[in-house]
Amino acid sequence: MNRYLVFISLVFLVFSLSCNKDDDKAEGIEYTVTFTFNWNSLDFPEDYPSNAHFSKLIGWNHLPTSDFFELGTLASEGIEVMAETGSITPLDSEINAKIVNGEGINLYVDDPLSSGTGSVSLNIIVDSEFSSVTLVSMIAPSPDWYVGVVNFNLLENGEFVQEKIVKALVYDSGTDSGVTFTSGNIDTSPKEPITLFTDHPLGDGEGISPAIATVKFTKQ
């Protein structure tokens, strides 16, 4: 092969790789996300409520640098309402405002789960810029506890993962001081930062085992 053909081949290769990256951003990469919930009375017998369930899933795909929902930050009004009541409003408006501001692409909302065990699935789109996903659901009833994945980046070492299963973590929004699932409303004033929840009645003070939920990401 002469030098000219070698040069043309290299140019074509670089162009193809560039197009693939652009396609990832322009068209997006689709994932099926499956939450499998396992909040049952055998593994979590302490104060297990008779009406255990989970609120609608809500979240978005966003920049990996987003600090919305981040540990150590104060919950927004929308996060507080979601964590305490399960309502997706005004959290949906807050997320949409961030999307308009160029921090994300899509808002996602999916069905609630009417019991403590079962699964919920939805499809999401990410790209090379907006490669992180946050999806959460209220543990209901509870003072202000919710479960989910926060700022999970599907782009690893420059490649989108084919499949990944992670433990969903339990969070305390820092807005209600109740100590068990059916505690009355006890507003935390002033608000405290968002933290991981590991205490009774779900955990032992250091962690929650088994996981109350797992999340499977499958590239389509």
For residues 89 and 97, give the distance between their C-alpha atoms in angstroms, rounded to a whole number. Answer: 13
What confidence tier does 2 reach under pLDDT thresholds 50, 70, 90?
low
Identify which of 110, 111, 112, 156 has the alpha carbon closest to the alpha carbon of residue 132. 156
Token match 């399960």: residue? 86
Alpha-carbon span 38 to 47, nearest angstrom:
16
Over residues 178-200, the pLDDT tens digits come to 999 999 999 999 999 999 999 99
Domains of the chain by start residue, with CATH: 3-219 (2.60.40.2130)
The two tokens of residue 210 are: 């088994």
Cα–Cα distance between 76 and 127 in angstroms, integer? 26
Q: What mean pLDDT comes out for the span 3-14? A: 43
Query: What pLDDT score was predicted for residue 31?
Result: 98
Question: pLDDT by residue (tens digit) across 135-144?
Answer: 999 999 999 9
CA distance 58 to 67: 16
